[in-house]
């Protein structure tokens, strides 16, 4: 595992998986302030890619570009290309609703709808017309909850409000809700930042299981978490992608001094 | 100890300084709390005074003095031709004689005795001038009563009513008193016989306005108010909610939307009489809608209520956490779906509260209605919103200008009824809010 080009800090030579999404020269402006500078990042299929970096480094901004959640912010402008398979998702003919059905998202704070657990999971499939019959819907809800590792705990109270669950359960409910529309990619924005260590461990375990069927991109502030769950890690700093590579490389043998300083705790 | 570099001494010095600061802070807090409590006590005091004055003035209007008559509906007086022709029996004047004879008998006079004509006239003056109309209504509805003898409670005159309620004192000189000595003598006699007593005043609730306080009521005005409230609800709620959703969720944030927002906030503070002028110019002069109609009143009040509803709805929409919107968008809901499936249901309690408070405000509004001709003596019940109508607050305004003593208490009673409606609406706002409020 050696670098063919010492200036290119991305380990593009050792990819064992096909590329699911990629950003090419992605720039983001919030009004006059530029938040991302020409980010090139490839995301591999069926792998967990974690985005790390100090606060305000642009990692969440990049994540939110991947399913165009930044569209909801009036002053936000995105430049460059973001490819999902072979289409640029910022093309005019790409429907953002369809895109978000393919690229699901789990947020920092668990945000179940103030409805029943069943309704929370069933909402996505319903608006996308995925289920024709009640039986199909039941099936989708149950499998989604099972995949999210929540079904056993709550199978007797599917009609209770989702907001009544514990924090960790709520976050797994949100994951089940994202899975229910059968996305190809799941984006997670610091999904464990509000959870205790036990709930965090459960979610991390779940992320590892989900990798089999989905491509996952996770933003995290915890380097231990990045090391535990991800196969590839990208380090952002001041709106730049500093370094990207296999997680064990980044953590054991970073090529950039800033990466080294960050992961050894010298700043951040 | 002061010049010595003793650390303990320094600690003591700083800690006493701190203590002083704490005392100051606590007394500041106590002062502030005392001020707050004083303000609340003052507010409650004024409220209690207001209520006490209205209730003490108004409660007596819920009762009305009536005179018991042993009434012989003489067929020769009411229907001399005997064919029960409606144009004959519906003339109130035909019942005057019947009542006069009955009340003379009640005070112990012989109706046929020509020598007591003067006393008989005094006895007659105890009855309301509307008594013959009431009796007419009864007979027209049941013509079979003609020629029979019935127990009948006739309305007493407004001044007699005020006297019985103690609002006209006995001890002022007769020349300055509305109720004369001769009348008082008969009143005392009738009260003693149990033939004169105060009963529940149904007229107040079922009658329209009248120049005679004893038969005046608020029913026509309430009808007009109900029509207007329905119009306001049907127009202002959907328009207001739609406008707020567009402004809050869809409209781009630029100079134009800022301008619109500032103007909506300003509209909420525009004096209501200005809305009345606008209604007069636009709805009546330009659009040619009828004057005094509750439709025009409802439209004017809709304009007045819109800013209130828009402001309340926008703040209710703003209060829905953005995480709910993101959650819906994140699973691929369109913006409209996210708003109608998730944001709007969560904002409903706030919207309902705002709407009901806006409606309550509109219910109590008088000034704009004066401008569009709803301050009129309208005796007939409006059956459609295009018929002439008045409103409850306008009725109060009109009664407050009447000279008779009996109208004063009716003014207060009508205020009490209006306040009851307002309280009812506000309580339902609170209940609805509790019912629909969900935690997230």
Q: Is A124 on the interface with B (CB under 8 A)?
A: yes
State how far residue A129 is from chain B, nearest Cα, in angstroms.
12
Tell me what pLDDT residue B2 has.
44
In this prediction, residue B71 carries a pLDDT of 87
Cβ-nearest to B334 among A97, A106, A107: A97
* pLDDT level of residue B438 (50, 70, 90 thresholds): low
Calculate what percentage of chain B has a pLDDT beyond 90.
55
CATH number of the domain where residue A78 is located: 3.40.50.300
- How many domains are there within chain A? 1
**pLDDT single digits (tens) A38-58:** 999 999 999 999 999 988 888
Instruction: Round to whole Å and give the CA distance between A1 and A250.
Output: 13
A40 within domain boundaries: yes
Q: How far apart are CA B254 and CA A226, in angstroms?
A: 42
Confidence (pLDDT) at B77: 83
Is residue A9's pLDDT more than 70?
A: no
Residue A134 lies in a domain: no
Q: Supply the pLDDT for residue B421.
A: 92
| ipTM of predicted assembly, 2 dp | 0.85
B293 SS3 class: strand
Closest residue of B to A164, CA-based? B440
pLDDT at B42 over 90: yes
Mean pLDDT throughout A206-210?
A: 89
B206: its two tokens: 């079922």
**For residue B31, what are its two tokens?**
């002062």
CA distance B70 to B65: 17
Residue written as tokens 């600061």?
A: B21
The span from the first CA to the last CA of chain A, in angstroms, equals 29
Q: Is the pLDDT of residue B406 over 60?
A: yes
CA distance B270 to B252: 27
Please report the pLDDT score of residue B144 as a whole number: 85
Q: Residue A161 region, left (φ>0) first, then alpha (ψ -120 to 50), else beta?
A: beta
Given pLDDT bands bounded at 50, 70 and 90, which one contains residue A8?
A: very low
What is residue B118's three-state secondary structure? helix
Strands A103-106 and A185-189 come out as parallel
A98 lies in a domain?
A: yes
pLDDT digits (tens, 9 = 90+) for B319-335: 999 999 999 998 889 89
The pLDDT of residue B110: 86
For residue range B6-17, list pLDDT tens digits in order. 455 455 555 555
Tell me the mean pLDDT in the region A248-262.
88
* Measured CA distances, B299 to B133, B280, B306, B310, B374 (Å): 36, 11, 11, 16, 13
Q: How many angstroms separate the CA atoms of B391 and B365, rounded?
A: 9
CB distance B126 to B155 below 8 Å: no
Length of chain B counted residue by residue: 440
CATH homologous superfamily, domain B219-436:
MetI-like (1.10.3720.10)
Rounded to 10 degrees, the C-alpha dihedral A83/A89/A94/A97 comes to: 120
Check: CB of residue B276 under 8 Å from CB of residue B300: yes
pLDDT at residue A12 greater than cutoff 90: no
Neighbours of B387 (CB within 10 A): 18
Determine contact: A111 vs chain B, CB below 8 A: yes
Q: What is the mean pLDDT of residues A160-170?
A: 89
Domain membership of residue A216 as a residue range: 15-112+183-263
Handedness of CA B186, B188, B191, B196 (dihedral sign): positive
pLDDT at B314 over 80: yes
pLDDT (tens digit per residue) in B192-240: 988 899 999 999 999 999 989 999 999 999 999 999 999 999 999 999 9
pLDDT in the model for residue B319 = 92
**Nearest residue on chain A to B345, judged by CA atoms?**
A114
Q: Compute the mean pLDDT over every residue in chain A, rounded to the nearest whole number.
A: 87
Q: Do A23 and A62 form a contact (C-beta atoms < 8 A)? A: yes
The whole-number average pLDDT for the span B44-60 is 94
Residue B18 has pLDDT above 60, yes or no: no
Domain membership of residue A144 (yes or no) is: no
| The pLDDT of residue A2 | 42
Cα angle, residue B44 at apex, residues B43 and B46 outer, rounded to 5°: 65
Encode pLDDT of B234-274 as tens digits.
999 999 999 999 999 898 888 999 999 999 999 988 999 99
- Examine the pLDDT at A203 and tell me if it is beyond 50: yes
Model pLDDT, residue A71 = 84
Instruction: State the pLDDT at residue B74.
Output: 83
Residue-wise pLDDT for B53-67, tens only, equals 999 999 999 999 999
pTM: 0.81
State the pLDDT at residue A119: 92
Least CB–CB distance from A101: residue in B332, B342, B440 = B332
pLDDT of B82 strictly over 80: no
Q: Report if residue A92 sits inside a domain.
A: yes
Smallest Cβ distance to B331: which of A74, A98, A104? Answer: A104
B-chain residues near A114 (CB < 8 A): 324, 346, 438-440
DSSP B139-178: HHH-GGGTTSEEEEEEEBPHHHHHHHTTSS-TTS-GGG-S
Q: Which positions in chain A touch B440 (Cβ < 8 Å)? A: 114, 163
Q: Where are the domains of chain B?
A: 7-59, 62-206, 219-436
Does A117 reside within a domain? no
Q: Inter-chain contact A97–B253, Cβ cutoff 8 Å?
A: no
Q: Where in B31-167 does DSSP place strands (E)? A: 63-72, 149-155
Q: Tell me the pLDDT tens digit for each residue of B112-150.
A: 888 888 888 899 999 998 888 888 888 888 888 888 888
Mutant choice from B327, B339, B341 vs A, greatest count of A C-beta within 10 A: B327
| pLDDT, average across residues A210-238 | 91
The mean of the pLDDT values for chain B is 88
What is the per-residue pLDDT for A14?
62
Tokens 């209710």 label which residue? B316
d(CA B332, CA B338): 9
pLDDT of B336 > 80? The answer is: yes
**pLDDT at site A202:** 86
pLDDT of A244 higher than 80: yes
Residue A178 placed within a domain: no
**In this structure, is residue A242 part of a structural domain?**
yes
């Amino acid at each position: 595992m050696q670098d063919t080009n010492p200036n290119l800090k991305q380990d593009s030579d050792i990819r064992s998986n096909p590329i699911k999404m990629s950003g090419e020269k992605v720039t983001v402006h919030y009004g006059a302030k530029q938040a991302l500078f020409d980010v090139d990042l490839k995301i591999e299929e069926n792998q967990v890619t974690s985005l790390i970096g100090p606060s305000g480094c642009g990692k969440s901004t990049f994540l939110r570009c991947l399913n165009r959640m930044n569209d909801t912010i009036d002053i936000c402008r995105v430049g460059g290309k973001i490819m999902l398979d072979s289409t640029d998702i910022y093309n005019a003919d790409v429907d953002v609703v369809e895109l978000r059905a393919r690229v699901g998202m789990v947020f920092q704070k668990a945000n179940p709808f103030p409805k029943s657990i069943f309704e929370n999971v069933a909402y996505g499939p319903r608006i996308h017309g995925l289920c024709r019959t009640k039986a199909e819907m039941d099936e989708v809800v149950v499998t989604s909850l099972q995949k999210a590792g929540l079904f056993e705990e709550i199978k007797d109270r599917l009609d209770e409000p989702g907001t009544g669950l514990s924090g960790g359960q709520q976050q797994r409910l949100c994951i089940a809700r994202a899975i229910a529309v059968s996305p190809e990619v799941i984006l997670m924005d610091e999904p464990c930042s509000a959870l205790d260590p036990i709930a965090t461990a459960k979610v991390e375990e779940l992320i590892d299981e989900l990798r089999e069927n989905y491509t996952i991109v996770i933003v995290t502030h915890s380097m231990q978490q990045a090391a535990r769950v991800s196969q590839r890690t990208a380090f952002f700093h001041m709106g730049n992608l500093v370094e990207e590579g296999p997680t064990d490389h980044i953590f054991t043998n970073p090529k950039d001094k800033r990466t080294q300083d960050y992961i050894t705790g010298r700043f951040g | 100890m002061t010049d010595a570099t003793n650390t303990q001494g320094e600690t003591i010095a700083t800690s006493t300084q701190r203590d002083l600061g704490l005392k100051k802070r606590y007394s500041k807090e106590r002062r502030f709390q005392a001020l707050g409590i004083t303000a609340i006590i003052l507010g409650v005091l004024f409220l209690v005074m207001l209520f006490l004055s209205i209730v003490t003035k108004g409660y007596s209007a819920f009762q009305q003095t009536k005179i018991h008559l042993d009434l012989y509906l003489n067929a020769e007086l009411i229907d001399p031709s005997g064919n029960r022709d409606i144009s004959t029996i519906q003339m109130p004047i035909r019942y005057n004689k019947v009542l006069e004879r009955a009340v003379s008998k009640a005070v112990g006079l012989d109706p046929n005795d020509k020598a007591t004509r003067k006393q008989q006239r005094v006895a007659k003056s105890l009855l309301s001038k509307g008594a013959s109309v009431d009796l007419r209504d009864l007979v027209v509805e049941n013509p079979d009563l003609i020629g029979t003898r019935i127990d009948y409670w006739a309305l007493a005159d407004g001044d007699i009513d005020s006297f019985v309620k103690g609002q006209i004192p006995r001890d002022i000189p007769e020349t300055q008193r509305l109720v004369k000595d001769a009348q008082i003598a008969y009143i005392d006699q009738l009260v003693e016989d149990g033939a004169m007593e105060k009963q529940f005043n149904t007229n107040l609730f079922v009658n329209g306005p009248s120049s005679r306080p004893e038969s005046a009521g608020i029913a026509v005005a309430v009808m007009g108010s109900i029509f207007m409230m329905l119009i306001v609800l049907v127009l202002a709620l959907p328009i207001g909610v739609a406008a707020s959703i567009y402004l809050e969720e869809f409209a781009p944030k630029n100079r134009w939307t800022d301008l619109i927002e500032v103007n909506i906030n300003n509209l909420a503070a525009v004096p209501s009489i200005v809305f009345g002028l606008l209604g007069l110019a636009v709805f009546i002069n330009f659009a040619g809608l009828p004057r005094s109609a509750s439709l025009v009143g409802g439209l004017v009040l809709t304009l007045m209520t819109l800013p209130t509803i828009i402001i309340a709805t926008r703040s209710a929409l703003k209060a829905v956490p953005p995480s709910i919107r993101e959650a819906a968008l994140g699973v691929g809901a369109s913006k409209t779906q996210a708003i109608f499936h998730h944001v709007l249901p969560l904002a409903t309690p706030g919207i309902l509260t705002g709407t009901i408070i806006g409606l309550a405000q509109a219910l109590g509004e008088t000034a704009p209605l004066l401008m569009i001709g709803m301050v009129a003596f309208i005796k007939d019940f409006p059956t459609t919103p295009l018929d002439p109508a008045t409103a409850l607050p306008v009725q109060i305004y009109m009664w407050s200008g009447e000279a008779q003593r009996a109208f004063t208490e009716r003014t207060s009673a009508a205020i009490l009824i209006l306040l009851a409606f307002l309280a009812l609406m506000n309580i339902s706002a609170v209940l609805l809010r509790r019912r629909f409020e969900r935690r997230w």
